[in-house]
Amino acid sequence: MICDAHIHVGYYNRKGHEEPFYYSPRRICTVLKKCGVDEFIYSSTSMQTHGIDYDGVNREMLEVQKIFGKGAHPFLWVTKRYHFSNPKISDLQYGFYEGVKLHGLDGSQWITKNADALEEVLSAAERHNKPVMIHTGCEEDARPSNYLPFIVKHPNLRFNLAHGRPADEVEECMGASSNVFADMAYMDPDDMPRYLADGWVDRLLWGSDFPTYAAISGKSLTKTMREDVRNCNWLAERIDFAANFRRYLNGESKEPEHGNM
């Protein structure tokens, strides 16, 4: 079973186009079905587009699930602008959104300028029992170590430190909380063996970040996704991505080990 923890729809910059290109729900769902993806977590890149209509994004997200079915799991991409317009993150209370996506480099600057707002967002996610996905990287607003105090403060929240980089900081976060996962989208290939050797096999999620690579490179959507699925199947010989996906998304416990109680 292919479970992709990192998918997008919406407006995104595409090679050869001056204006953001629209990756529609139907186009994305068609490719995912064609390539054999069974379930996926998705958010809308439209949320980082200036002048966006938030109600329009909600309709876009609903359309994905209408086309694909219940295997599509919507995460609300919360930006600083969205939080300012809706500080209670009221969209979470209606039951449609299954989680929250945060990206400190979309202009939100959660760490360097909006830490109080970040705390409000995480508190709302915890109140509604929604897992959180955070873009990670080496920038100050993306460093896992900068999010660590928030992770420790919210031990019941399930976090996906998307991209899993830098690995040493992600592993520090994993060690601090059993509810920290990392998806492998754009992960440094040299870090994958490290995560496995260090015993984090049950915390790794498959993620493609589709269709961002196809958009940046200009490659075919279907060809790109098929390559991602092949890589997923190869790694699945060592990692139970479906089980990890379920634990992250729903908080399901690991299967109990046999032996002495």
Q: What is the pLDDT of residue 16?
A: 72
Cβ pair 211, 12 in contact under 8 A: yes
Output the pTM of the full model: 0.94
CA 203 – CA 183 distance, rounded (Å):
8
User: What does pLDDT average to in each consecutive run of 10 residues of the chain (261 residues)?
Assistant: 97 79 96 98 92 90 97 98 94 95 97 98 97 98 98 98 97 98 94 95 98 93 96 95 97 52 33
Q: What is the pLDDT of residue 253?
A: 60
DSSP 79-112: -HHHHHH-TT-GGGGGS---EEEE-IIIII-TTT
Burial of 51 (0-12, 13-18, 19+ CB in 10 A): exposed
For the four alpha carbons of 187, 233, 207 and 144, in that order, the dihedral sign comes to negative
Q: What is the pLDDT of residue 254?
A: 57
Report in angstroms the alpha-carbon separations of 147 from 38, 141, 191, 229, 246: 31, 9, 20, 30, 23
- Ordered by where they begin, the domains of the chain are 3-250 (3.20.20.140)
Q: What is the pLDDT of residue 131?
A: 98
- Token pair, residue 245, equals 């996906």
